[in-house]
Amino acid sequence: MILFKVFILLLPFVVYSESITRIQLHSSLHLNLSYPVLNHQWNLSIKQFKNKWFQRLISSKNGIYTEYLENYQNIEYYGEISIGTPPQTFYVIFDTGSPYLWIPSKMCDSSDLACQVHHKYDSSKSSTYKPNGELFYVQYGTGIASGFLSSDCVHIGSLNIVDQTFGEVTHQPGQVFINFHFDGIMGMGFQQRSQNSNPTPIFLNMIEQRLVDKPVFAVYLNLNEDKTTSGEIMFGGIDDRYYTGDLTYSDVVSEEYWMIKIDGLD
pLDDT tens digits along 163-177: 999 999 999 887 778
pLDDT at 105: 97
pLDDT in tens, 110-119: 889 999 999 9
- What is the structure's pLDDT at 156? 93
- The residues facing 82 across adjacent strands are 89, 155
The stretch 183-197 carries a mean pLDDT of: 81
Average pLDDT over residues 232-250: 89
pLDDT digits (tens, 9 = 90+) for 106-165: 999 888 999 999 999 999 999 999 999 999 998 887 778 999 999 999 999 889 999 999
Percentage of the residues of the chain whose pLDDT score is greater than 90? 38
Question: pLDDT tens-digit profile of 34-58?
Answer: 444 434 343 444 344 333 333 333 3
C-alpha 23/C-alpha 14 separation (Å) is: 16
Q: How many residues does the chain have?
A: 266
- Amino acid symbol at 40: H
pLDDT at 83: 98
Contacts of 106 (CB under 8 A, 6+ apart): 120, 121, 122, 123, 124
Q: Where are the beta strands (DSSP E) in the chain?
A: 22-28, 59-61, 64-72, 76-83, 88-95, 101-104, 130-139, 144-156, 159-171, 184-187, 217-221, 231-235
CB of 230 closer than 8 Å to CB of 70? yes
What's the mean per-residue pLDDT of the chain? 77
The answer to whether 139 touches 149, Cβ cutoff 8 Å, is no
- What are the backbone angles phi and psi of residue 224, rounded to the nearest 5°? -80, 110
Between the two ends of the chain, the Cα-to-Cα distance in Å is 25
pLDDT at 60 over 70: no
What are the structural domain ranges in the chain?
3-242
Cis peptide leading into residue 173 (ω within 30°): no
Which pLDDT score, from 0 to 100, does residue 230 have? 75
Give dist(CA 113, CA 79) in Å, integer.
22
Asked if residues 155 and 87 have their Cβ atoms less than 8 Å apart, the reply is: yes
% pLDDT > 70, the chain? 69
CATH number of 3-242: 2.40.70.10
pLDDT at 64 over 50: yes
